[in-house]
A and B are shown apart, each in its own frame.
Chain A
Amino acid sequence: MSQDFRLDNIGMVNRNKKISFTFNGKKYFGYEGDTIASALIANGVHLVGRSFKYHRPRGFFGVGVDEPYAILQLERNNERDPNIRATEQEIFEGLEVKSVNCWPSVNFDIGAINNFLKMFFPAGFYYKTFMWPPSFWYKIYEPFIRMAAGFGEASIKHDKERYEHKYEYCDLLITGSGPSGLASAYAAANNGARVILAEDKPRYGGSLLTSDVNIGNQTGAEWSEKIITELKSMSNVIVKNRSQVFGYYDHNMLVMSERISDHLPKTQKYLPKQRLWYIRAKEVLISSGSIERPLVFGNNDTPGVMLSSAAKEYMKVYGVLVGKKPLIFTNNDSGYETAIEFKKNGVNPLILDTRKEPSSDIITEAKNLGIEIKYSYVVVAAKGYKKVKSADIAKISDNKKDLSNIENIECDCICVSGFWTPSIHLASQSGNKSEFNEKIDAFIPKKSKQKENTIGSANGKFTLEETINEAFNKGYEVSNKITENNNKLSIPTVVEKKSTEHDKFWCVPLPKGKSYKRFLDFQNDVAVSDIELALREGFRSIEHVKRYTTLGMATDQGKTSNLNGLQLVSDIENKVVPQVGHTTFRPPYTPVSIGAIVGREVGKHSKPTRKSPMHEWHEKNNAVFVDAGVWLRPRYYKQGNETLFEASKREAKNVRKNVGVCDVTTLGKIDVKGPDAAEFLNRVYTNAWLKLPVGKARYGVMLREDGIVMDDGTTTRISENHYHMTTTTAQAANVLSHLEYYLQLVWPELNVNVVSTTEQWAGAAIAGPNSRALLMKLFPNTDVSNEALPFMGYKEADLFGIPAKIYRISFSGELAYEVNVESDYGNFMWEKIIEVGKEFQIQAYGTEALSTLRIEMGHVAGSELDGRTIPHDASLEGLVSKKKDFIGKRSLSRSAFTKPDREKIVGVVPLDKTTSIPEGSYIVKDPKAKLPNPKLGHVSASCWSVEYDNPFSLAIIKDGKNMIGQKLFAMSPLKNKTIPVEIVSSHYVDPEGKRVRA
């Protein structure tokens, strides 16, 4: 299809590169540098979607971030991208887009029946129409509304694209590269400030690209090209296009999303799709410009009705005509610029100006060009369904209330200009309370809240001269504050046409007997009548009106609708706009993709994965891994077709019978050093530590101040003032913070230092009756006999030339040792143990077997020390010193903790000796009791006892000590199981602890 609406001699797209793309399955051509919007308009396509509620035809309204209509679904690299704005998305070869919110097609949309049923969809319809009968809501109304709501469809596939995060610091962040952004960046950069200049569009220059002005004897476009080229060459400046600063957060932190690959057919190899910048700026200059304000009239949502500035930009930037018979409808001089541009390109426009007798340079120029102008004229209604075909126009009385001389004139587009709305969103997000400026009928920022200043048209400065002066001065002033340099540039002279004031008129009254829909919010189908209804129903606060009618919601957040909505409310209420106030602006200014927010922290990268030095060996030996905190630990080592249950049973049995080795590198390790280390441990742990001799280990329990067990582990006295503390894998980081808290804030007088050594040591637990025999072979030069290295003993030894530490401690209840070497030797140690251990039938065992061994021994772990238990509950009361004070001791004497029937840990065995008890089961007396069945406690951990070859569980139950021997029931409502059980001692195997001391 030929590009019938493309102009030959104007625009900035690359005519040498033709690009094909498809829209709703049909192939079109555009040029490199076109957006989807400009390329479709060049092809004469104006119908691109259907509206949210009434499914009315939708075309293009703007040319950038404010676009409320042209929301499309994009396919790229087999990935779906919902809700992209056609006015921002650049075309590339092979791009595929389609319309949303229409079925079966944008041309014939069944949902358009809503347009004829609109009496059922008034403001707040979802609170009214679908309320009765109540039983219908869940099954009929909600699914229906959910199906009808929303625009694009999100993909449910995994997003394969890469998104990056970047942190940046700068002296000055400037948001927008229009005249004020360029001028201030130039002034500040030349004064030595480190500047970041962000532009959301592909091209720099903002309004300079489209307005007929002159700066320092150059056209606006030439001047901006010169400045940006110079800025790019400076080492203290970062210039970014396709980058939207969308959020202003605390302490001058701003977030910017950079679209790096969205305009390319495919993301390049070493580039991400998008990058999110976290920018901490010393100062911010908000130069985000302003957005043209629409005028409200009948059927003003018809495709072909658009902002006059958009029509001008389509011509000047893209070389595209939005229509060949344009009607310009304006209340100020801006519309004339568009009209003149049409005329220059050989198209005759008609201007309707709501003002009675305006006169200015630009009006004179328009007249001289022979453009037809009608004063005190308005558009009453647009005619045409899928595209503007004509317009009813009328003369309006001086008081703007009455229409006369209504006539129909032919046109194919209506370009509206209702003056300008400064984009104050970022200033507002920073906490700046805006104020209403009556001269421009819009809100502008007030006093700076954070380190921000707003300049240019975002600050209500609508002449270029004011803007350039303000920007050069602010750029110098702010940079001078930071760099203390005094390099002040001279401000170039500006030539622009003088213009007059706008007409305070935005909403055309309805002619008698007509009920045209006059839309305020184009994305959400909010019409004048909806606001009137909301006010009649008693809504007063603008925040309530917004939520009831959805005015200013959705993806465009009312960039074009807010002020007209406020004006209407204040007109009806006989108030002025500042009394009504505006709704709160919150980040993000424009939609941000979830991918950009998440960045690289997806899947396994949401947390770092930590691996022990022996990880590769585990992998080679068919380990099946399990997440243990941030660590990956072998759960079991699979042999043949073994299941988890079979493998763990084999591994555990081998520990009880021969010897096993387990990777315990993940245990938290903390070095505690200093002359007061013993005293410190004595305060941290519940048991006594002052008399622990050098070369001995001790098991300890630490509490929180509320008396709850925080962690347990063994600590070894390496030398006089040096202790090696171990913690559980999960609590390692918390314990270190806990120790630092007490050392730094509570007892700073103690001369002790703590440091994590978890990663410095690789650990292997060697457990089983053969472990000493194995140790003797591993350390032939060290005496590891029961006398020389007794239970809870410690020795330094030499492992084939590598320094090693041997701790005789046991988690499995067997005769056991833990050998530590420096991490780099971990693999060497492990392989030696396996090699030497062969003759003793050694097998590696994973966490599942480890659990089995500890459960049947009645050793407590995380499932018992669950943040609810005190030492007594876990049968650790023997470790609680009565003599000394320690963290949390005072809590233990509170009445709830000293009740005689308090929960206590017990063992649980099913009567049939075969049915495993699900973890989390309740222990009850009577399984048939009325609900809620009083529960005595819960099963905390279950295993298959390899010692007795039957299931065994640990449970924490009320008055546990006196329950031993009783026959009770374990109930699992989740698994729908009730199992008769007997309560036994938690020390199921070797209750006297003979083995560990053997």
Chain B
Amino acid sequence: MLYIFCPHCGSRSQNEFAYGGDATVKRPELNKEISDQEWNNFVYLRKSPRGKHLELWHHISGCRQWIKVERDTSTHEIFKTYKADELTE
């Protein structure tokens, strides 16, 4: 069970969190004309690298904040965690 540092609450066990997938996806702006392909990429295409990955986790049984976690998907090493409004670019 992973031990995840929540930037709001401190280190907590994985079972307080829900996994939220690839954090590098950016939603297209509202009312923007975009191609089917572009939309399709946003809705369905997710990175799943072996190694360092930026992921979303939701602290559902804690502060209910979405956070970003930089984790190695093969070793589970967590390098750093960020608040939702950090790393927006």
Q: Which residues of A approach B to under 8 Å, CB–CB? A: 167, 249-253, 278, 280, 431, 683, 705-706, 733, 737, 740-741, 744-746, 748, 884-885, 890-891, 894
Q: Across the interface, do A251 and B66 meet the contact criterion of CB distance under 8 Å?
A: no
Measured between alpha carbons, how far is A683 from B27 in the docked complex, in Å? 13
Q: Across the interface, do A252 and B65 meet the contact criterion of CB distance under 8 Å?
A: no
Interface flags, B54-89, vs A, CB<8A=1, else 0: 001010100011100000000110100000110000
Measured between alpha carbons, how far is A741 from B39 in the docked complex, in Å? 19
Q: Does any Cβ of A come within 8 Å of B1's Cβ? A: yes
Q: Across the interface, do B39 and A280 meet the contact criterion of CB distance under 8 Å?
A: no
Q: Across the interface, do A683 and B30 meet the contact criterion of CB distance under 8 Å?
A: yes
- What residues of A have a CB within 8 angstroms of the CB of B13 in the complex? 167, 253, 278, 280
Given contacts A251-B2, A252-B3, A737-B60, contact A748 B43 (CB under 8 A): no
Given contacts A737-B18, A894-B36, contact A744 B3 (CB under 8 A): no
- What residues of B have a CB within 8 angstroms of the CB of A249 in the complex? 1
Given contacts A683-B30, A885-B30, contact A705 B42 (CB under 8 A): yes
Given contacts A280-B13, A740-B64, contact A250 B2 (CB under 8 A): yes
Shortest Cβ distance from B34 into A: residue: A890
Measured between alpha carbons, how far is A585 from B65 in the docked complex, in Å? 38
Measured between alpha carbons, how far is A683 from B42 in the docked complex, in Å? 18
Given contacts A250-B2, A745-B56, A748-B85, contact A885 B43 (CB under 8 A): no
Q: Across the interface, do B1 and A250 meet the contact criterion of CB distance under 8 Å?
A: yes
Given contacts A683-B30, A885-B31, contact A744 B66 (CB under 8 A): yes
Residue from B1, B28, B34, B42 whose CB has the most chain A CB atoms within 10 Å: B1
A-B pairs with beta carbons under 8 A, tally: 57
Q: Show 20 A/B contacts (Cβ-Cβ < 8 Å), sorted by A.
A: A167-B13, A249-B1, A251-B3, A253-B13, A278-B13, A280-B3, A737-B18, A737-B58, A740-B58, A740-B65, A741-B66, A744-B65, A744-B66, A744-B84, A745-B84, A746-B27, A748-B84, A891-B39, A894-B36, A894-B39
Least Cβ distance of A942 to chain B in Å?
Answer: 34
Chain B: interface size category: 20 to 34
- What residues of A have a CB within 8 angstroms of the CB of B56 in the complex? 745
Least Cβ distance of B69 to chain A in Å?
Answer: 12
Measured between alpha carbons, how far is A278 from B20 in the docked complex, in Å? 25
Measured between alpha carbons, how far is A741 from B67 in the docked complex, in Å? 10
Interface flags, B1-29, vs A, CB<8A=1, else 0: 11100000000010000101000000110
Q: Which residues of B approach A to under 8 Å, CB–CB? A: 1-3, 13, 18, 20, 27-28, 30-31, 34, 36, 39, 42-44, 56, 58, 60, 64-66, 75-76, 78, 84-85
Given contacts A253-B3, A737-B60, contact A706 B85 (CB under 8 A): no
Shortest Cβ distance from B28 into A: residue: A890
Least Cβ distance of A45 to chain B in Å?
Answer: 44
5 further A-B contacts with Cβ under 8 Å, apart from A252-B3, A744-B65, A884-B31, are A251-B1, A253-B13, A705-B27, A890-B39, A894-B36
Given B1, B34, B64, which contacts A253 in the complex, CB threshold below 8 Å? B1
Measured between alpha carbons, how far is A629 from B1 in the docked complex, in Å? 26
Least Cβ distance of B8 to chain A in Å?
Answer: 11
Least Cβ distance of A530 to chain B in Å?
Answer: 36
Shortest Cβ distance from A748 into B: residue: B85
Given A250, A253, A745, which contacts B66 in the complex, CB threshold below 8 Å? A745
Shortest Cβ distance from A255 into B: residue: B1
Q: Across the interface, do B66 and A740 meet the contact criterion of CB distance under 8 Å?
A: yes
Measured between alpha carbons, how far is A741 from B60 in the docked complex, in Å? 11
Measured between alpha carbons, how far is A748 from B88 in the docked complex, in Å? 11
Measured between alpha carbons, how far is A251 from B79 in the docked complex, in Å? 12
- What residues of A have a CB within 8 angstroms of the CB of B78 in the complex? 251
Least Cβ distance of A339 to chain B in Å?
Answer: 48
- What residues of A have a CB within 8 angstroms of the CB of B27 in the complex? 705, 746
Shortest Cβ distance from A431 into B: residue: B75
Measured between alpha carbons, how far is A113 from B76 in the docked complex, in Å? 51
- What residues of B have a CB within 8 angstroms of the CB of A745 in the complex? 56, 66, 84
Least Cβ distance of B63 to chain A in Å?
Answer: 11
Measured between alpha carbons, how far is A278 from B56 in the docked complex, in Å? 25
- What residues of B have a CB within 8 angstroms of the CB of A683 in the complex? 30
Measured between alpha carbons, how far is A746 from B31 in the docked complex, in Å? 14
Shortest Cβ distance from B42 into A: residue: A705
Least Cβ distance of B59 to chain A in Å?
Answer: 10
- What residues of A have a CB within 8 angstroms of the CB of B31 in the complex? 884-885
Given A253, A733, A741, A890, which contacts B20 in the complex, CB threshold below 8 Å? A741
Shortest Cβ distance from A746 into B: residue: B27
Measured between alpha carbons, how far is A252 from B2 in the docked complex, in Å? 9
Given contacts A683-B30, A740-B66, A746-B27, contact A250 B76 (CB under 8 A): yes
Residue from B27, B75, B78 whose CB has the most chain A CB atoms within 10 Å: B27
Shortest Cβ distance from A893 into B: residue: B36
- What residues of B have a CB within 8 angstroms of the CB of A891 in the complex? 39, 43
Least Cβ distance of B81 to chain A in Å?
Answer: 13
Least Cβ distance of A63 to chain B in Å?
Answer: 33
- What residues of B have a CB within 8 angstroms of the CB of A250 in the complex? 1-3, 76
Shortest Cβ distance from A449 into B: residue: B75
Q: Across the interface, do A278 and B66 meet the contact criterion of CB distance under 8 Å?
A: no
- What residues of B have a CB within 8 angstroms of the CB of A251 in the complex? 1-3, 76, 78
Q: Across the interface, do A741 and B43 meet the contact criterion of CB distance under 8 Å?
A: no
Least Cβ distance of B78 to chain A in Å?
Answer: 8
Least Cβ distance of B58 to chain A in Å?
Answer: 6
Shortest Cβ distance from A742 into B: residue: B27
- What residues of B have a CB within 8 angstroms of the CB of A733 in the complex? 60
- What residues of A have a CB within 8 angstroms of the CB of B84 in the complex? 744-745, 748
Measured between alpha carbons, how far is A741 from B66 in the docked complex, in Å? 7
Shortest Cβ distance from A278 into B: residue: B1
Shortest Cβ distance from A253 into B: residue: B1
Shortest Cβ distance from B58 into A: residue: A737
Least Cβ distance of B42 to chain A in Å?
Answer: 7
Residue from B3, B20, B30, B36 whose CB has the most chain A CB atoms within 10 Å: B30
Measured between alpha carbons, how far is A737 from B64 in the docked complex, in Å? 8
Residue from B43, B76, B78 whose CB has the most chain A CB atoms within 10 Å: B43
- What residues of A have a CB within 8 angstroms of the CB of B34 in the complex? 890
- What residues of B have a CB within 8 angstroms of the CB of A885 in the complex? 30-31
Measured between alpha carbons, how far is A431 from B74 in the docked complex, in Å? 12
Least Cβ distance of B30 to chain A in Å?
Answer: 4
Measured between alpha carbons, how far is A746 from B66 in the docked complex, in Å? 11
Measured between alpha carbons, how far is A884 from B31 in the docked complex, in Å? 8
- What residues of B have a CB within 8 angstroms of the CB of A253 in the complex? 1, 3, 13
Shortest Cβ distance from B68 into A: residue: A745
Least Cβ distance of B44 to chain A in Å?
Answer: 8
Least Cβ distance of A799 to chain B in Å?
Answer: 32
- What residues of A have a CB within 8 angstroms of the CB of B20 in the complex? 741
Measured between alpha carbons, how far is A745 from B64 in the docked complex, in Å? 13
Shortest Cβ distance from A704 into B: residue: B43
Measured between alpha carbons, how far is A779 from B40 in the docked complex, in Å? 53
